[in-house]
Structure 1
Amino acid sequence: MRNFIFLLFSVLLCYSSRAQKMEIPPKTHPDASQWKDLFTPDLKNALYPEGVWTYENGILTASKDEAIWTKQEYASFILDLEFKTDHGTNSGIILHCSDINNWIPNSVEVQIADDFAEEWAKAPASWHCGAIFGHLAPAKSLVKKPGEWNRMTITCKDRMIWVMLNGELITEMNMDLWTDARK
């Protein structure tokens, strides 16, 4: 069974924006300098197991393999973040989740992975960094080597999802074309 490691990396910036400011499809990473953080420093607007997640100096960190969820629901949004992978990282950003207790069949996951690790390099392309996990491979692998900062922007507008990694649009998903979670 696949070992899920969620957000076991540092997030430097994590923002949301109003849908009317979206460039569709996105051509560059947005200027997020005036955006608010997705999570407050005290994490009072998040749901997570006690003692697992910390948010200090703009960096979100987990001490073990557990998810963190926003209390607020988002439909059309931009999520802009920076992350580092470690050797063998397997993580993800969960979108459009309708049941956090049974999220795997009830959500979309944008994969964050160390594509340089042998186990992920040999995995299907739909398991690589920037993929819609298990369903849609990124156009190319752009994740940097472990320990280097990456920038990812996920844009969700209505039934569309775009993933930009390190300056290039690598994944585009029209959810209307995906009507079965098993495909």
Structure 2
Amino acid sequence: MPDRNDAALQFLLTRRSRPSLTLTAPVPDRDQLTEILTAAARTPDHGKLEPWRFIVLERPALQRLAQTIPDIGTRLSIPDDKIAKQQSQFSAAHMAVVVVESTVDSEKVPQIEQTYAVGGVCLALVNAALAAGWGAQWLSGWASHAPLFSQQHLGLAAHERIAGIIHIGTDTSTPPDRPRPDLDRITRWVSA
């Protein structure tokens, strides 16, 4: 029987994202965040292509981005309530890491597999931040899917897109657990 890592398994069985609006300062410093990013970048990556990159948004950058949201939302005909919600995600934040999907042409690795790997990076980043003692949440929102926002304000290339915006900070409250999937409903065992 293999050796169990009970502490790691218990963490994964009980991990819980923290709502971004409950996160505050202090946030990880560069050394602490580098450790978290290093853990996230260890995500399995078929073909070793690394089809992702990180953009670390500190408080002043988040405040600047928040100010761009109303204009972009209006230009894209986004409803006012959704504009306000997206703007508050940036204006209330103290730190966020944008995980950028940057797939490459490869005869060996289909782009969809690269996309899945980038999703793995987002989850690994949340888990690494939580394991390091910080609160974290993976968000996106309409702005993250708008090239007008990602290219003009974050410098993404035309072939890149935002896979997730991971908010990290000090947790101010522990949310109640949410309902989890019914494993009997979603699992099929095949023996032969």
Fold shared, TM-score > 0.5 on shorter chain: no
**Greater per-residue helix proportion:** 2
- Quick one: higher RCO (CA 8 Å, sep 6+), 1 or 2? 2
When normalised by structure 1's length, the TM-score is: 0.29
**Greater per-residue strand proportion:** 1
| Structure exhibiting the larger radius of gyration computed from Cα positions | 2
When normalised by structure 2's length, the TM-score is: 0.28
